[in-house]
Each structure stands twice: as structure tokens, then as C-alpha cells.
Structure 1
């Protein structure tokens, strides 16, 4: 006979309980914990929050121009850079007297007489304007590189200062010979975004006038006819670079970019400064170019003897062109 305890163990419909191993419980706990962490991480990442703080902008944000500018600001700054031996470092930019025969005075003088100072400030950049001949040991002038650099820096500084104080002022840029090289380089720097005014202010450049530009390349600007097909002396000698101390031939500019439609160049056929032949001896050529600065062809753009358009001289043409540009320039509000 079975005992009561044995009968209880053998009752039908009931099975003994099975214990779950501890390591399986532990694995399940880890799985639940991992799932919870994933859910929390996703929720946090999807929540809006402050973005990353940048280290700093790589470029300055564009700013809009004001509606008016100070009362002493001219509508237009006419920046004039004389040629070699036609200026001095301490000349008066508003009343230049260093060389009364300076070619650019035939342009700047009449402009000053025609327009009030409120309409245009005519500023003649004062710089040493020399060209030392390295083949002449007694020549104590400033070398070309230093002279050109000084002229460029002073022209750029005047533009930058005006642009900061007078953000609505437009610009007429004009130069002759070494001054034309300086003005052309300034225009190229502005077009390339490296100039004294911001990229967004390129429209303020009303016109760029070059007479006998030593870096001239035919077809890279408006060539005012009659115009030779030759190139400037620095282009012709560009392959020699800085072989001659103090006189670095920088070659051509390659164009004026967005300003090309506003750049006008005048060159007389046979002027070795802007219509140079191909050379093989740089030292000899530099000596010839030094002499070419005094040649009649280079020195007489104020007459119709070697260059004329419609019966007017280069300086008279430049004056008329500048008048048209200044007349057509905007008239900003002042306060």
C-alpha cells in the first residue's frame, strides 16, 4: 500500500518545477539593460539642442551698405598715379608740384577745375617715382622695385582709408608709365579679391585708365585704337624675372577679371615701355628701357604726334572718358 506522501507525489496533472539557471538570468538582465541604453541614447540624440560652436568664421560675413555717408565724403575718388620722375614721396596729393610737366597733370588739372570737391576728390599719389639704371654705377636713384612698391602701397592705403570712411564713394583709377603699372596692378588685385576694398565693392570701380602700361597685354582690356599688337616691357622681359638686381620683370597680369570691361589702355606704336620687342639680353634691354623713358614716343602722349584718336591726344581722350564716368556716377545721400 502506498503511503499518503507517495500518493501526493504521483497525482496526475502536476509536474515538478524546473529551476532556470542563474547564468541565463544574468544574460537576460544584460540584454534588457543594453536595450534600455540604446533607447535612451536614441532619444537623446534625436532631441533638439545647441549646435556645435565653430572656432570662428573663415571669412567675414557680407555687410549691407548704408543708405548715406558722411557729408565730407566725395561721390567719386579720382586716384592718379604719375609716371617715372613725375612725382616725389613728399608731394602734395591735392596740389602736386613736384614736376609741373607731369603728363597726368594734363588730366587731373582739368578734372579738378571741372568738378567740385564734393563730386570728386582728385588725389595724386605721392611716391618716389624713380628707375635706377643698374648699368650706370653713378646712378643713385631708388630702384624700380622699391619705387613701384611704395607707389602701390600708398595708392592702396588711400583707397582703403576712403572705403572705410566713405562706403558709397566710387573710384576712378588712372596712371602713366610706372604709374600705369601701379594702377593696373591695383586693379588686378581688386579683381582677384586681394585689393584694398572688399570683393562686394568691386562695382564701385567706375573706370581704370592706363597710358603706356609696362605690363600691357593686347586684348586683355579695352585697347583704345590705334593700338599696337606688342606687349609691355615687363611682359617682354618676364622670362628673366629678377635677373637684374632691383628690377623684377613680373610678366603679364593675365587680365583684369570682372573689371576687364572697365579697363582702358592707350599705347603708341613704337613706345618700348608698352610696345616692346622680343629681347635676348636683359641687361642691355634694361638699359634701353631706361633710355626709352625719355624717348619722344613715350614722353609725348600729351600731343597728337605719335598717338591720337579722333584728332585728340591720349591725355585729352583720358580726360573726356573720365568726365563721362564721373558724370554718370551715382550721387549718394549724405548726412
Structure 2
């Protein structure tokens, strides 16, 4: 028993080192009590002229944002993976068609094994990202009741985005009223740390592993500041069919080994040290679908959703 616990601890520490060396990770369980989504609410026939038809909410990954970044023109990290998608959408569509909003949050991951690392804890980072993303949806819906939503994220941002989708789809946490969950057009996740194969539309090639936060959820708060939150309660609920997930085989953030075989898990984690799959979703090296990289695929998917979205009347 003690040997198994020790191996699990090794897995957790190795995963932390991998994240801090260049991989990235997840987000927190949304608060609130689940309710069953119902039929769409009674909505007005028109909304304010300054309301976009679609809000495209983009959540960057670890080290790709900052708490004070400009959500309309983010510059915290010019190499942010999601900028390849959001910048193209801003060029293609007028603001009246879609507002492209990049959630500004601390986006850090402190290495607890390094006393000189003064970054924000992962728990604090993902909590801030979730609250800010949820707050943008809440404020938009209050002002623009006919606006639809496309939600996208990478890595830590993918878990935040997935948690938002889970909250909305299960009528939890007050992000959107349960009866308005149909306003969500789609949710796109790249390297989701809480990924469960089959819980959404998995875009091939799709590996069999689970997200690191699920693989290591039995460890709870073993590593200070890094809580492995496990699977999402209720999955994605009523928006399940609108969620797409991209995960490259061998990316330990979304394709993690299970702890039913601790020794095998340790070996796979150690083997990933020289295989930086997580950082290369903008290339076809580890993941591509019909010749498209992950960012190219996500761009085409989101473009189609925005093109086909309803065009509500304005007053």
C-alpha cells in the first residue's frame, strides 16, 4: 500500500515538473447546484444595436495571458496559440457579427518544488480565469439576451472553457439560465485537462487516455496549490453534442495514463520529458485532421458556426 502511495506521489510531482517545463494544464469545478435544463425562455424580438450576434469567448493557456491584458486586443503573449484563431476571426467578421473576447487572467502555474518560483498557484490562476470568463457571459446575456456563444480554449484555458460548458449544460452556477443553454453554438477544447473520451465529439485522431486532472484526481491536494479536480459532474449536460475536443496522442495533459497501473504511468510520464507534444498544436507534427492543424481545424469550425448563427433584429 505504501509503495502504491509513493508511486502516486511520484506521478504527481513528475506531472508538475512537466507542466512547469512547458506543458500546460486545467481548471476548477464550477460552483452551484445542478438543475435540469428546460425549454428556451421567452425572449424579446430584438436587442440593442450595439449587441453582437455572437460572442466568441477565447481562453488562452498557461503563460499565454495576463490579468491586465486587453481582452479586445491581447498582447500579453504574441505567440499565444489561440491568437491564431481569434485574430483570424477578428479579421473575417465585423464586430456586429461577433465580438471576439480573449479572457485576461493570470494564466500561471507555480512549481511547488522550486522555492524561487513566485508565480500564482495553479488553483488561483484557473479560478480567476473561470470567474472572469463566466462574468463576461453573464454580463453579455443580461444586456444582449439574443446573443449566441462560441467558447474556445487551450490547455488551462480548455479546462476553464469546458467547465463553463458543463455549468451551462447542467444549469449550474448561474452562468446562463438553464432554459437559455441553447444559445451556446459550440465549445471547442484543445488539450483539455479534464477530458474524458466519448463525453463530447472527439476529433480524430483521438487517443484513449483521460485528462491529467482525472488521472490524478485520487491525489486530491497532495501537491500544494494544485488540486486535481477529477471528471466534470454531469459531463456537458444539454450542450454535450456541441462540444468538440482535440487531443494529440501522447499529450499528457489530455492523454494521461491511468493510476490503475502506477509503474506504467510513471514510465509514460518520464518518457514525455523529451516529447513536447503539448506545445505543437499549431503544427501537424503530432496532430492533424485531413491535413489541418489543431488551430486550423478550430478556426474552420468556429467560422462555420458564426456564419450559420441567427441574425437577431436590433433596435
**TM-score normalised by the chain length of structure 1:** 0.77
Local SS of the residue matching 2:182: helix
CA RMSD of aligned residues (A): 2.2
Relative to structure 1, the CA distance from residue 154 to residue 94 in structure 2 (aligned partners, 3 Å threshold; closer, same or farther) is same
Local SS of the residue matching 1:305: coil
In the alignment, what sits opposite 2:31?
Answer: none
Structure 1 residue ranges, 4+ long, deviating more than 3 angstroms after superposition: 279-282, 291-295
In the TM superposition, residue 301 of structure 1 has moved relative to its aligned partner by 0.3
Larger CA deviation: 273-282 vs 140-149:
273-282
Relative to structure 1, the CA distance from residue 308 to residue 63 in structure 2 (aligned partners, 3 Å threshold; closer, same or farther) is closer
In the alignment, what sits opposite 2:49?
Answer: 71
In the TM superposition, residue 278 of structure 1 has moved relative to its aligned partner by 2.7
Would you say the 8 A contact 1:293–1:299 is kept in 2?
A: no
In the alignment, what sits opposite 2:210?
Answer: 231
Would you say the 8 A contact 2:209–2:258 is kept in 1?
A: no
Cα deviation per residue 1:251-289 (whole Å; 9 max; x = unaligned)?
Answer: 11152111110000000000010011134899xx99x98
Cα deviation per residue 1:126-168 (whole Å; 9 max; x = unaligned)?
Answer: 0000011111121111001000000000000000000000000
Would you say the 8 A contact 1:271–1:298 is kept in 2?
A: yes
Would you say the 8 A contact 1:273–1:292 is kept in 2?
A: no
Say whether 1:325 aligns with 2:301: no
Instruction: Say which of 118, 125, 130 aligns to 1:140.
Output: 118
Local SS of the residue matching 2:179: helix
1:241-252 mapped onto 2 (5 Å cutoff):
241-252=220-231
In the alignment, what sits opposite 2:138?
Answer: 160
In the alignment, what sits opposite 2:84?
Answer: 106
CA distance in 1, matches of 2:157, 2:115: 25
CA distance in 1, matches of 2:83, 2:298: 12
Say whether 1:83 aligns with 2:84: no
CA distance in 1, matches of 2:198, 2:258: 18
Count the aligned residue pairs: 271
1:211-226 mapped onto 2 (5 Å cutoff):
211-226=190-205
1:1-335 mapped onto 2 (5 Å cutoff):
64-194=42-172, 195-253=174-232, 254-279=234-259, 296-335=276-315
In the alignment, structure 2 segments of 5+ residues that lack a partner are 1-39
Would you say the 8 A contact 2:50–2:96 is kept in 1?
A: yes
CA distance in 2, matches of 1:332, 1:235: 40
In the TM superposition, residue 191 of structure 1 has moved relative to its aligned partner by 1.1
Relative to structure 1, the CA distance from residue 92 to residue 281 in structure 2 (aligned partners, 3 Å threshold; closer, same or farther) is farther
CA distance in 1, matches of 2:112, 2:273: 15
In the TM superposition, residue 200 of structure 1 has moved relative to its aligned partner by 1.1
In the TM superposition, residue 63 of structure 1 has moved relative to its aligned partner by 5.4
